[in-house]
Amino acid sequence: MQTLSIFTPCSARERARNFESYWAFSQEHAGELFESGPDLANKRSKLAEFQAHPVRSKSPLPDPDLFYRNYVKWQEDFSAVDRITLMLTCMYKFARHEYVGIVGAWEATPCMADCDSVEDKISRVHLAEEFSHIRLFHEMLRTFHLDAVEWLPPGRLMGAMYRTFPRLPGFLMDAPAFVTELMGMVFYQHLDRLFDELLAETEPEACQRLHELLHEIMVDELAHVGQRRNFIGPVGIKVAKAMVGPLMRVFFSDLPESKKLFDIGQMVRDARAFDYTSVYPHQLSDSWLPSYCTGP
């Protein structure tokens, strides 16, 4: 299958058809929505499978307290820190941004019973999937015996930003929301490769479990990239492409570990060039792509 750029132009009619297609996909993929969780039947079942067969690293971190002292805000000299601990604190900070954002968005969107449109229903399920990602990230951290991690509330500034964002009108929110999903997918691809670099030889079982947990997230994230793209018209998609670099650099500046682990410039280039060719075939087959991003 040929794939096209995620920035490929499309008509309003194509977008309408793709919302219907995505809604059908999400019903089968995610299963029943539980508002009180928030959770989804298929996501709950998959997490239970992982938890029923836990994997833990053979060796603990050199200094677990180092993680706990720095996992919310980095406070120490980077030169004295092992790269695995840096990776885990970076993962937590990335996921915490997601957690704070979805809590604010969940409160700002109508419950499923009050959703009047397919787009609103899609957004509700999307947010529930994001809550399931936090549980999977938590399981990743537990793989390295980090059982006391808490998903802490945001500071005043971060909280105000994430409470305000989901209440913005679509013409202001849709482009940055799409870019954040694209950023997430690209970050996960680079993180997936980092697992092998740091763990494949020394902790093969833990490495494999991290891949499995992350791939569950990536299948959803891949669909979310296309779904959020589908909200954007021809002008908005040009705006979105222009903001990829600035938004990603600002975001990762709040994750100081990221610069020690990743090439941020390369992540920006990968996001701008995203056309699904970098995605594993099994993830493509398990996920959803907009019809206007696929060829014969």
Residue among 226, 208, 218 at smallest CA distance from 188: 218
State the pLDDT at residue 158: 75
DSSP, res 142 = H
Q: Please say if the pLDDT value at position 287 is more than 80.
A: yes
Give the per-residue pLDDT at 171: 77
Helix, strand, coil percentages in the chain from 3-state DSSP, rounded to 5: 70, 0, 30
Q: What is residue 117's DSSP assignment?
A: S
Residues of the chain with pLDDT > 90: what percent? 87
pLDDT at 80: 84
**Mapping DSSP to helix (H, G, I), strand (E, B) and coil, where does residue 33 land?**
strand
Answer whether residue 260 is part of any domain.
Answer: yes
Instruction: Yes or no: say if 131 and 102 are a contact pair by the CB < 8 Å rule.
Output: yes
In the chain, the percentage of residues whose pLDDT exceeds 70 is: 100
DSSP string, 154-203: P-HHHHHHHHHGGGS-HHHHHHHHHHHHHHHHHHHHHHHHHHHHHHTTT-
**Those residues with Cβ within 8 angstroms of residue 57's Cβ, 6 or more apart along the chain or in another chain:** 143, 144, 145, 203, 205, 206
Residue 35 tokens read as 């508002």
**Would you state the pLDDT for residue 154?**
75
Question: Can you give the pLDDT at residue 276?
Answer: 96
Cα(160)–Cα(194) distance, rounded to whole angstroms?
Answer: 33
Domain assignment present for 2: no
Is residue 4 in a domain? no
- Checking if the pLDDT of 5 tops 90, the result is yes
> What is the four-CA torsion angle of 143, 105, 256, 275, rounded to 10 degrees?
80
The predicted model gives 268-274 an average pLDDT of 98
Residue 252 lies in a domain: yes
* Local structure of 40: helix, strand or coil: strand
Residue 290, CA distances (Å) to 5, 31, 137, 193, 225 in order: 11, 21, 27, 26, 9
Model pLDDT for residues 201-243, shown as the tens digit of each residue: 999 999 999 999 999 999 999 999 999 999 999 999 999 999 9
Q: Is the pLDDT of residue 155 over 80?
A: no
- The mean pLDDT value of the chain amounts to 95
Q: How many CB atoms lie within 10 A of CB 162?
A: 20
Per-residue pLDDT, averaged over 192-196, amounts to 98
19: nearest Cα among 122, 110, 140, 168 = 122
Domain count across the chain: 1
pLDDT attached to residue 296? 65
Q: Looking at per-residue confidence, does 170 or 100 come out higher?
A: 100
Identify the residue with better confidence: 162 or 233. Answer: 233
Report the pLDDT averaged over residues 33-37: 94
pLDDT of residue 106: 94
> What does the radius of gyration of the chain's CA atoms come to, in whole angstroms?
19
**Euclidean distance between CA atoms 234 and 10, whole angstroms:** 7
Dihedral sign (CA 240, 244, 247, 252)? positive
- At 118, the amino acid letter reads V
Res 86 pLDDT > 90: yes
**Domain extent at residue 51:** 12-293
So what's the pLDDT on residue 295? 75
What average pLDDT does this structure show over 27-41? 96
Please check whether residue 262 lies inside any domain of the structure.
Answer: yes
**Contact (Cβ atoms closer than 8 angstroms) between residue 190 and residue 267:** yes
Prediction pTM value: 0.96
CA 167/CA 140 separation, integer angstroms: 32
